[in-house]
Amino acid sequence: MSEPRKYWLDCEQNVTRLYRGLWAAGIGLLALDLFLHRHEEFDFAAWFGFYALFGFLACVALVLIAKRLRVLLMRPEDFYER
């Protein structure tokens, strides 16, 4: 038999590069926040790193809500076989 197909994320070195690249992009965008002047409606939206913190907290909230929804919506394993 032929060998199973190997994808680019199967190589640990590529995963490390992707991880470091995402960190570098995030830090670069956060550093860019120092130099940009925004005309915000609310004062707290002009704080340094506000949108980065808001995005992180929103992502954490979505994960926690999804965990609660799983309990509510979960069906037995043989639900469709009955």
Query: Terminal CA-to-CA distance of the chain, rounded, Å?
Result: 38
Q: What is the pLDDT of residue 55?
A: 93
**Is residue 2 predicted with pLDDT exceeding 90?**
no
Q: Which residue in 31, 69, 71, 68 sits closest to 49, CA to CA?
A: 31
**Is residue 1 predicted with pLDDT exceeding 70?**
no
Q: Which residue in 61, 77, 57, 81 sits closest to 69, CA to CA?
A: 61
Q: What is the distance, to the nearest Å, from the Cα of residue 75 to the centroid of all Cα atoms in its chain?
A: 27
pTM of the full structure:
0.69
Kindly tell me the number of DSSP H helices and DSSP E strands found in the chain. 2, 0
